Amino acid sequence: MKGIILHGGHGTRLRPLTHTGPKQLLPIANKPMSQYCLESIKDTGIKDIAIIIGGIGANKVKEFYKDGKEFGVNITYIEQDYPKGIAHAIQLCKNFINNNNFLVFLGDNIIQKNIKDYAKSFENSNLDASILLCEVENPSRFGIADVKDGKITKIMEKPKDPPTNLAITGIYFLTPKIFDVIERLKPSWRNELEITDALQMLLEERNKITYNTITDYWKDTGTPEDIINANKEILDKIKPSFVGTKEDSVIINGNVIVGEGTKLKTGSKLFGPIIIGKNCIIENNSIIGPNSSIGENTIISNSDIENSIIMNNCQINSAKKIRNSIISNNSKINESQSDEKILLLGEGTNIEF
């Protein structure tokens, strides 16, 4: 089998975070969200992976993953000049896939369940497709599968009146038969080639499609709230480790990861689960609360941060209580006003009051 990661799109719901790069490189627990996808694919035994790139920051994807050797895989990059739909992106991989079965992962999907058994089962079957479903509270946001007596009867894209709450997760096991179907697709009202339409056509033409339902955590990280929620879920599973240094009177409670070269100054307080990357400085009187991720080379002074993501090379000196926030790389905050704040800052933002 081979693998495909879709790494394109504009990420409009995540602006200003995505003004300078793709949403799939936004970090969750200090790791780009698409890296979780790559690791899930690798865990199935797949080594040859195509990454579909396009739009703002496509070169950043290449700079991060390079040829894949650092991650134990072989990466081929395929460019999609404009986001014309998931099915269109898959069709671009026809020559890469050749006659192999393959696994498709949308690069903004976070899943905690190992899918190795699903991949093995599909590879040893005569199925034409297999999809992963998950029960959701807001099914009209997703592609939906209607299931009767253990069989998929219909697949539809974001229905106004969903017949079930079984969302299609954006993880697909497919055979080369899908390429013939996509060639016959017509664009949807969004002027895109929809993967849900392709799967529905497979159904209508009496091909064999099955499904598995994920009962573990799954998140389509399309909004800032989704990213913060995913960050919390990943941090809840972390194992503590400390390779930094700390001065006297530093308080550490709960599961905490502190990276190499990071210094915790006297009076700082850490309440896990949290992760702090390499070469950071947490100055006196700073509080890093639960469910927070701090990237590398970041300095935090006199600040109270909780349930937030702070990326690399940031400087934060704020009397505000920073809550439920995402602060991008190279941002600087210097504020003396002491209230509670929710921040969503793009790369290089400078705030001073």
User: For 197-253, what is each residue's pLDDT tens digit?
Assistant: 999 999 999 999 999 988 778 877 778 888 998 999 999 988 999 999 999 889 999
Lowest mean pLDDT among 3-17, 21-35, 337-351: 3-17
Closest by Cα among 333, 328, 332 to 26 = 328
- Tokens 């959701």: give the residue: 136
Instruction: For the sheet with 326-327, list strands across it.
Output: 241-242, 256-258, 274-276, 292-294, 309-310, 326-327, 344-345
| Residue 126 vs residue 56, higher pLDDT | 126
Mean pLDDT of 78-90: 89
Outline where DSSP puts E strands in 121-266. Answer: 129-135, 143-148, 151-157, 166-174, 209-213, 218-220, 241-242, 245-246, 251-253, 256-258, 263-264
Q: What is the pLDDT of residue 24?
A: 87
Q: What is the pLDDT of residue 339?
A: 75
- Whole-number pLDDT of residue 14: 67
Distance CA 182, CA 176 (A): 10
Query: 26 near 52, Cβ under 8 Å?
Result: no
What local confidence, expressed as pLDDT, does residue 180 receive?
95
Write down how long the chain is: 353
The two tokens of residue 241 are 């480790």
Task: Tell me which residue has tokens 């003004």.
Answer: 19
pLDDT at 74 over 80: yes
pLDDT at 251: 93
How far apart are alpha carbons 262 and 285 in whole angstroms? 16
Q: How far apart are CA 105 and CA 279, in angstroms?
A: 33
Both tokens assigned to 84: 């014309």
Coil/strand/helix, residue 208: coil
CB atoms within 10 A of CB 312: 20
As a three-state string, the secondary structure of 14-25 is: HCCCCCCCCHHH
Asked if pLDDT for residue 112 goes beyond 90, the answer is no
d(CA 21, CA 175): 32
CB of 80 within 8 A of CB of 91? no
* Statement: residue 284 has pLDDT above 70: yes
CA 351, 20, 112: angle at the middle one, nearest 5? Answer: 100
List domains and CATH numbers for the chain: 2-223 (3.90.550.10), 241-352 (2.160.10.10)
Question: For residue 51, which phi and psi values (nearest 5 degrees)?
Answer: -110, 120
**How many whole angstroms separate alpha carbon 320 and alpha carbon 338?**
4
The span from the CA of 298 to the CA of 204, in Å, is: 54
State residue 269 phi and psi, 5-degree precision: -130, 130
